[in-house]
Amino acid sequence: LSTDEIKEMDVAGMIIGSHGVNHNPFINLTLEESKREIEESFSFLNDLIQNNPVKTFCYPHGLPHTFRNTDIKFLESNQVDFSFAVESKDLTNSDILENPHSLPRYDCNEFNHGSAFNPKRR
């Protein structure tokens, strides 16, 4: 997304979430590097948008083995409301109450028009 597209989505009332800066799986980074990914991404987005502070996060690559409990603790300590992993299932109330920093979500590539590799988008 361009910065103008992000601003347009914000003005339209969409919830904008953070996703890291370089899209590296946190498991491949030191704790300090993953913290920097989180902080810089939130800082960039919160400086860019006006209407809704960014309070959600989606782990890069998102599979359970790609992030650590220390990453979750860091997000919690920074008042992030919810974090999403890639687990293709519907979200339940139980998920929200029991695992707010490992919520399931569908991968965009699972939808007909959601592929991140859509050649028409270039």
For 86-117, write each residue's pLDDT tens digit.
888 898 999 999 999 999 888 777 777 655 55
Hey, how many other C-beta atoms are within 10 angstroms of the C-beta on 112?
A: 5
Alpha-carbon distance 118 to 111, whole Å? 12
pLDDT band at 66; cut points 50, 70, 90: very high
Q: Count CA within 13 A, CB hemisphere, residue 99.
A: 13
Alpha-carbon distance 107 to 100, whole Å? 18
Alpha-carbon distance 7 to 17, whole Å? 13
- The more confidently predicted of residues 73 and 62 is 73
Q: What is the mean pLDDT of the chain?
A: 88
pLDDT of residue 87: 86
Alpha-carbon distance 28 to 115, whole Å? 25
